Amino acid sequence: MSKPVKAAVLSAGSWGTAFGIVLADAGCDVTLWARRPEVADAINSTRTNPDYFPGVELPQGMRATTDPAEAMAGADFTVLSVPSQTLRANLAEWTPMLAPGTVLVSLMKGVELGTTMRMSEVIEDVAKVGHDRIAVVTGPNLAREIASRMPAAAVVACTDESVAQRLQAASHTPYFRPYTNTDVVGCELGGAVKNVIGLAVGIADGMGLGDNAKGSLITRGLAETTRLGVALGADPLTFSGLAGLGDLVATCSSPLSRNHTFGTNLGKGMTLQETIAVTKQTAEGVKSCESVLDLARRHGVDMPITETVVGIVHEGKPPVVALKELMSRSAKPERR
């Protein structure tokens, strides 16, 4: 009998835990790294992660530790699931402990502030591994639904298709159906920008602007995501796939989405500080809207919805004023 695939998942937050469940259900031997000892203890002693998924039973093939070296020892896949803005510092600490030949897998949907790097670029920069050893998992994957084993499709992307296929096999379960893709740029941008569009749709929902506004924001949001992607060398078709449209639809229609919920609270009139105070988990779009806009400006790409979100979230622009500005932009053809 062949040895089970070994996976380290760093860390034990929402998506790390949920994807760890997927890997374990697919037959992998999974070790989660948890920052807090009480989370690791609860996982090992109660087979649940009560802070994130109370009542969800974790698979037998999954355990937790607070020692990153122990988690990573001999791992075929090292899965990274920390907030995008802390990845660089976390990975710098973890790089000396990486197992030889391990594939680094990013679950993160963000763009680094300052450098405007995508997460796979940060990984390549810090861990000094080639892009053929870095994979990305993305798509319409709300962690709470996945942890409850509700059905979803996903994308596993790597420039080396055989690596994507290995990860596909390691994460395919009766409820989780991953497709491979070699367009890493498009897949990552789809995930990072949809968080920003999710904020915009949430704001519109909070303001009670209706479903036409939602449909319009999703579609025009996808148009600006695609414009950015094409400028960065992505395949435009990626954005009509799971990493683009699929993820946008899930995020923009679900109360489980933190970005959507964050936007809804702002649209209802909460201040930024009040909204941050009631948001317990990572809403990546809040920070990444600025880095996405920065990236767009560096490449001369117009991203009006992203610009509007930055105005509301970071510049204190009232949503009603932002809406008026967005709607009164100069008239143009749908496709340029």
Ligand X SMILES: O=C(CO)COP(=O)(O)O
Which residues lie near ligand NAI (CB under 6 A)?
11-16, 35, 81-84, 86, 90, 107-110, 141-143, 281-282, 284
Residue 251 engages ligand X in binding (rule: CB under 6 A) = yes
Give the Cα-Cα-Cα angle 87, 123, 109 (nearest 5 degrees): 60
Q: Which is nearer to ligand NAI, 183 or 284 (CB)?
A: 284
**In whole angstroms, how close is the CB of 118 to ligand X at the nearest point?**
15
Residue 26 structure tokens = 């697919």
Task: Check residue 49 for interaction with ligand X (CB under 6 A).
Answer: no
- Interface with ligand X includes 288 (CB under 6 A)? no
Cα separation, 18 vs 154, in Å, equals 13
Contact between 83 and 282 (Cβ < 8 Å): yes
Let me know: does 108 contact 192? Beta carbons within 8 Å.
no
User: For residue 220, what are its two tokens?
Assistant: 């025009």
- Taking the complex as a whole, the smallest distance from the CB of residue 16 to ligand NAI amounts, in Å, to 5
Give the chain's count of helices (H) and strands (E): 15, 8
Q: Is 35 annotated as a binding residue?
A: yes
- Residue 258 is assigned to a ligand binding site: yes
Helix (H, G, I), strand (E, B) or coil at 103: strand
**Tokens for 127?**
């861990």
Query: Is residue 205 near ligand X by the rule CB under 6 A?
Result: no
**Per CB under 6 A, 227 contacts ligand X:** no
334 three-class SS: coil
Which candidate in 3, 6, 128, 194 is catalytic?
194
Determine the residue type at 171.
Answer: S
Any contact of residue 81 with ligand X (CB under 6 A)? no
Question: Is 194 in the active site?
Answer: yes
Residue 13 contacts ligand X per CB under 6 A: no
CB of 250 to ligand X, least distance (A): 5
Provide the 3-class DSSP secondary structure of residue 256: coil
For tokens 């109370």, the residue is: 54
Question: Which residue, 109 or 118, is less far from ligand NAI as judged by CB?
Answer: 109
Query: Interface with ligand X includes 258 (CB under 6 A)?
Result: yes
CA dist 65 → 45, 78, 81, 128 (Å): 12, 14, 15, 26
Quick check: 127 and 104 in contact, CB under 8 A? yes
Interface segment toward ligand X; rule CB under 6 A; list 18-26, 64-72, 206-214, 255-263: 255-263
Which are the contacts of 233, defined by CB distance < 8 A and separation ≥ 6? 185
| Contact call for residue 51 and ligand X (CB under 6 A) | no
Map residue 80 onto helix, strand or coil: strand
Is residue 203 at the binding interface for ligand X, with CB under 6 A as the rule?
no
Please give the size of the binding site for ligand X, defined by CB under 6 A: 14
Structure tokens given for 210: 């209706």
Task: Give me the least distance between CB of 213 and ligand X, in Å please.
Answer: 19
* Stated length of the chain: 336
For position 238 contacting ligand X by CB under 6 A, the verdict is no
Q: Hey, how many other C-beta atoms are within 10 angstroms of the C-beta on 311?
A: 19
User: Which amino acids are annotated as binding site for sn-glycerol 3-phosphate, given as ranges?
Assistant: 109, 139, 194, 247, 257-259
Q: Site residues (CB under 6 A) for ligand X?
A: 109, 140-142, 195, 198, 247, 250-251, 257-260, 284
User: Which amino acids are annotated as binding site for NADPH, given as ranges?
Assistant: 14-15, 35-36, 52, 109, 143, 258, 284
User: Which amino acids are annotated as binding site, given as ranges?
Assistant: 14-15, 35-36, 52, 109, 139, 143, 194, 247, 257-259, 284
Catalytic residues: 194
